[in-house]
Structure formats: C-alpha cells, structure tokens
Amino acid sequence: MARRIAAGAAYGGGSVGLIGAATVGLVLAEVQLAKRQVGGGTAPVPPSANGRYGVAFAGPTDPLRFVMLGDSTAAGQGVRRAGQTPGALLASGLAAVSERPVDLRNVALPGARSDDLDRQVSLVLADPAGVPDVCVIMIGANDVTHRMPATQSVRCLGTAVRRLRTAGAEVVVGTCPDLGTIEPVYQPLRWLARRVSRQLAAAQTIGAVEQGGRTVSLGDLLGPEFEANPRELFGPDNYHPSAEGYATAAMAMLPTLCAVLGLWPESDHLDGSRREDILPVAKAASQAAREAGTEVTGARAPWALLKHRRRRRLPAHTEPAKRHGADAADGGPPSGSGSGATWRPARERP
C-alpha cells in the first residue's frame, strides 16, 4: 500500500487512499471526540524557541543554521517552556556534538497539513540569512484526521524535500506519529488509527528518501512508551506530547541529524544485532513504520539503508543557560555543564 501511495504521488495519481472512506470518517470522528473530551481539546500556544543555542562555543566558525518545519508537533505545542520544544532540544544537542553555536528558526504551524509545506519552505528559502544547513520536517497527523488523500500528502512532502535539497539543505523527516496511542480512542478504531498512521509513515519514507532526504520513524518509537506511561508522555490536553514525550522524539532524531551533517563518522558496516540492513526502499519503509526510532537513508536505487542508531536518555535534571535574544529562565534551552546544550548522545563507533 505504501508503494502504491508513493507511486500515485510521483505520477500524479490522487485516488489511492489509506483505508476506506467510511472507516477514515469513523477514525476522524473518534479522534475529534477524543480531543474534545480530554483537557477540553486545548493545549498551550507553542512557545517561541527561535534563537542561538550553544553560545559557549562561539568562535571564528559560523553557527550552524537549523530550521524546523511541520505541524504542532514540530512547533512544540503542549509544553510551556521554549527549552522543552523539539527544536530547542535538537538545537542544543547539535551545539553539544558540533561544539558550534546553532541558530534555530521554527516556521512550523499548529494544525498544518502537508499542503502547507510549500508556504513554509518558501519562508525558509526567502530568509536573507541564507539556506539552512539542515531542516527537520515533522508532519502527517493532521493529514490523517482531516482525510487528506494520501497521494497528495506524500506529493506535498516530496516536493518540500526536493526544494530544500536542491537549495543545498540537508533534510530529516520525522514521519507520521501513531494516532492509535490517543487514550480515548478505543478498539477497533484504535487499531484502524494505528494502521492508517503506519501506512502514511511508510509512504512518507518512500517519498522523502527518493528526493534525497532521510527519515526517522516516530510512530513506533512513541507508541509503546505513550501506552505504557500516558500520564507522563502526553501533554495537558492528552493529545500532544509532554516535555518528556518531545525529549523522547528528539533523542531518536538527533543521531540522524548529526550523521547527515557529518558530525560523526558514517560507517558502511551494518550491525546485525540491531537489525540493520540494506533493503528495497519500500520494504525498508514498511519495516521502519513498525520499529522504534528507525532511520531510512537512500542508497543506490532502489535500495535503502535501515539503521537503528544508539541514543542516550536525557539527564534527570538540567540547569538553564542563556540564549541569544532570550533568557533561558523564561524557557531557553537547558545546558550541560555550562555548554549551552541539553545533552550529549552516545557517539557511534566508526
């Protein structure tokens, strides 16, 4: 199904759906009901996390330019402090690993669907500061809940990745999260929501990798942890992630950001103990949609690398640090040992 969706997106098809229209309608109705039932269906306005991270590393080297695009998850809706958003966590982590300042710009829009990526990419490419070094796109949930045709969703994402890559930016896509983890969604609609989310995530992987991006599966990473500990990993509205949930997602994506920027050595060696492999891109996409934190990177067509990079949990307590243009006491990024960074991941062995 993911292969059919991606092919339809590439060749202009628009009729390939994820599941039947009636079933999608039921899933949509249940999700909207869940959003109204829990926490009033509201979440805090995402705090602005734009600014410079890792100021302790200031020197002759220019800062890395990092941009977040996507929906409410990319914006960090559900938390109240800027330092708790995924953009701030990733910027802090990049600063720690690269030992360079990182300038973060977040153009993500809560409620956005994939057809809004064209506007967001135009904003990014029009920035007088220049083309960013790396972009992270997190999108897909609203495409499912608003019944956007899957082929259109993947086509919009693929176009966004192609525009950014053509301009010279590296791109990492966090694929559609698992909507089956929303607490008030009951069986059998929970199973259907999980199925539709995974199908879209797999199709997004195919579309993004074919345009030169890398993907990280978020659905399988967050799903089991949200189900096991929903009170901790969901935010106040029980719909968007909490600070701990965003930190979990950031830990999964940071190693891929570091790899795509060449901040630690890439290796052709695949670790069988971590189920790494070279597979046809459609099969790699399908496996990634089912396995936690899986990275898919294009190899020689039609093959892709399936990787499970090492990651480390955040420290239990962090101290605030100053950020360019903002005070961390009002939501700036936490620091690690005064470095202006949140945490240091376990580096991969070369």
At 52, give phi and psi (nearest 5°): -105, 135
146 is catalytic: no
Identified catalytic residue from 114, 133, 240, 242? 240
Task: For CA atoms 213, 97, 55, 86, give the dihedral sign.
Answer: positive
240 is catalytic: yes
One-letter identity of residue 51 = G
Distance CA 78, CA 85 (A): 9
Query: Quick one: which of 231, 348, 97 has its CA closest to 89?
Result: 97
Identified catalytic residue from 237, 271, 277, 324? 237
Distance CA 18, CA 214 (A): 23
277 is catalytic: no
For the purposes of burial, counting CB atoms within 10 Å of the CB of 38, is it exposed (0-12), middle (13-18) or buried (19 or more)? middle
Identified catalytic residue from 71, 72, 92, 339? 72
Q: What is the largest CA-CA distance in the chain?
A: 59
Helix (H, G, I), strand (E, B) or coil at 87: helix
Contacts of residue 130, defined as CB under 8 A and 6 or more positions apart, other chains included, come to 65
Which residues are marked as active site? 72, 237, 240
